[in-house]
Amino acid sequence: MKIGTDIIQIARIEKLINKYGNTFKKKYLSQEEINRTKTIASLAGLWAAKEAISKALGCGICADLTFQDIIIGKNHRGAPYFTLSPKAQKVHQVINSSLSISHDGGFAIAVVAIRTA
């Protein structure tokens, strides 16, 4: 089992959105993620989640695992989960995972536990 965590100040993401707008969003989010996410706090949560996943996989955001390789979704109960692109899944071989995202007090945090082959 591998664990990753990340925390980010929501204001940092807000500054980037204000400066770069959709260009920034498209760099690290899929179109589905952009459409589903309505608040800056939620955008920051997705950033934290993708960083936490990259840390748990031991590589960080790199050629083997880009922001676009990680897709964050929600199940029927609203709980977050992630999938990897076929290219990234082939490299990292995720078997099972659990993802938690929260935001409060001006910060967004994500924690992930991952089991790989």
Which element (helix H / strand E) includes 33? Answer: helix 31-36
Residue 35: partners with Cβ closer than 8 Å, 6 or more residues away: none
Residues with catalytic roles: 55, 103
Whole-prediction pTM value? 0.96
Per-residue pLDDT 10s for the chain (117 aa) are 999 999 999 999 999 999 999 999 999 999 999 999 999 999 999 999 999 999 999 999 998 899 999 999 999 999 999 999 999 999 999 999 999 999 999 999 999 999 999
- What the block records as the tokens of 60 is 């960080």
**Domain 2-116 grouped into CATH 3.60.130.10:** no
Strand order in the sheet with 107-116: 2-9, 107-116, 94-104
Using CA atoms, how far apart are residues 72 and 88, in angstroms rounded to an integer? 14
Place of tokens 């993802």: 99
